[in-house]
Amino acid sequence: MSDIRDRLTLQPPATTKVAEAMDFYRQAIISLGEEIEGGLPDCREKSLALTNLEQVHLWTIATIARNQEYFSPVLAESEGTS
């Protein structure tokens, strides 16, 4: 798959371990977002913090989705035999 196709194609979790990794980081990011939302006064800086937290979420999930073999060595083995 070309790099551009790889970057722009949905890559759902191929294994339970990958899904669990996505859920773990998603929950951690949500927890931090709730702390920011409830613990800081409304202002431009808070808005920017939440916007950047959305970016953290995006790139964290993308990192896991694009590197699923890191979480599931079986995937790396099967991809190497194709």
Please report the pLDDT score of residue 71 as a whole number. Answer: 85
pLDDT at 69 over 70: yes
Using the CB atoms, write b or e for 25-48: b if 16+ within 10 Å.
Answer: beeebeeebeeeeeeeeeeeeeee
| pTM: predicted TM-score of the whole model, two decimal places | 0.80
- Given a cut of 80, whether residue 77 has pLDDT beyond it is no
At 11, the pLDDT band (50, 70, 90 cuts) reads confident
Tokens of 11: 């890559």
- Which whole number is the average pLDDT over 14-18? 93
pLDDT for position 76: 57
pLDDT of residue 82: 46
Task: Please report, for the chain, the start and end positions of each structural domain, with discontinuous segments joined by +.
Answer: 15-80
